[in-house]
Structure 1
Amino acid sequence: MKKVIFAEFGGPEVLRLVDAEEPHAGPGRIRIAVRAAGVNPVDWRIREGQVLSAHPIALPSGVGLDASGVVDEVGEGVEGIAVGDRVFGEGASTYAEFAVLTAWARMPEGLSFEEAAGYPSVVETALRILGEVGARPGHTLLVSGASGGVGSAVLQIARERGIPVIGTAGAANQDYLRSLGARATTYGEGWVERVRQLGPVDTALDLAGSGVIRELVELTGDPHKVVSIADLDAPRSGVRFSGVAGSVPAALAEAVDLISRGKLHIPVEKSYPLAEAAAAHADSQAGHARGRRVLLI
């Protein structure tokens, strides 16, 4: 089978498409014929060797956590799923023609493989950090870097829960944030004052890692009311860095519920063939996304 790997830490250029042995589903696992794989910022952080404490790996390594596809092997002890089912979920080395998943759910009706691959890690992360930051109904949440995949999920889940949101993003994504229920403003010079003009802030999330931790603490008045998923130096300011996943099966169940009720939709900004994984990583690192990037197999 074809699979994307890297044999050394570095930039997107270390990714290579190779012929590899197919993995197989062990106990409690399923294997899918991958139709699409989600491209997450954590993928390139792992490729660069940034997050080895949370994601230890041995080189050479595969790439990717999220995927959608068709079940073609069911491991011992797995119930409620069968060969031929359409699923999405999390596993390892999902930038490949076949991948083993450790958590999965059946795809909601009407969702394409391309769309489904963009949900698993994004929704788990959004649910986790909303809980960690203590976002509550009626208390305003500030989301820095709100237009990407996690931001799109945070804004929609917050809206469903009655949590008012102020979101920052580039000028081109202001209407997009408003369409998801947020009060929107641009980042860049003067952004703190622009946020203040939109109202007081109770809690804040840093999703972009653009060096705004000090300002987020200033706006909330308390480092314990700020959580980052993108700035590895956040703990130096007393701010929690969230990088360890919670319950993925629970997150997938909630995603299915929200999608099925029309309360959650994460657009795919761009799709790439498997051979262009390096380009997908380069684009992801450049930021300014609206929704998700995925690889099509």
Structure 2
Amino acid sequence: MLTFIARRIGAGAVLLLVISLLSYLLLSIPDTDVGRQILGPTAALADVDAKNAEFGLDRPVLAQYADWLAHAVRGDFGTSWFSGEDVTLAVANRLPVTLSLMLGVTLVTAVLAFLLGVWAGVRRGAADRLVQVLGVAGYALPGFLVTLVLVLVFAVRLNWFPAIGYTPFTESPAGWLATVTLPIASLSVASVAGVSQQVRGSVIDVMRQDYVRTLRARGLSERRIVLKHVLRNASAPGLSVLGMQFVGLLGGAVLVEQIFGLPGLGSMTVTYTTRGDIPVIMALVMLTVIGVVLINLLVDVMIGWLNPKARIA
């Protein structure tokens, strides 16, 4: 297992290097006069050239990337070209907001999806059909429509939750919970639908295996068979999809954070991408790739722990 983890970390480091290079080259392709954007159309050409030189934009792209990489490996992502903020600090300030949503959605999805999937796979019949209908409906509904309905019903009509704004957990745990409940609910609908279908299919396949019939013949209770044997062997597909859902939540967070006025990484990505602020964009790209590597590694370790056969494979 340690060898496997070391290999995955090494592959992740190579992936980081490759993606950082490709991202920097792609971001540098547009011939955008950053100095002119910052100083305005009436600024003198000499001032514009001086501003571009200040950012190192007068040098070859590979030289710019090498300089960025040398600082990035030390945790220094520079400063924003447009706001002058320290990039690392700016990302760190917004990360808890998006992380709250992603962890909340993952927790809700893990609990509800596995409960629904196991229930449908074990009970079959009407329960199975109900879960399939809910899964198709949840996956088919547009995310923005689900979000708007939740806001209209629970924030505007019932006034149970605030429609916009964010309260940090350190200021008020109750206020924090109130501000993240609707965003988490809106993001969880599609996630629960997708993962529950995977769990359902895996449970049905495992329940048909010969060793399950053998366990029943030995007199083990159905509950023990499901919880101790079936769930352990059927969890791999659900965990894999759950890991992919966690990574994909950053894209969904863009829309949700805009609607609910949350100061997270999603809204930050939109703002700084439209400006072409390479230091901020590169920091967000690297954070995303690191998240992908860590989540995939965690999922693989969990699958190996639950299913020794998968660990050997």
TM-score range, shorter chain: under 0.3
**More strand per residue:** 1
**More helix per residue:** 2
Give the TM-score of the pair, scaled to structure 1.
0.26
Larger radius of gyration: 2
More relative contact order, 1 or 2 (CA 8 Å, 6+ apart): 2
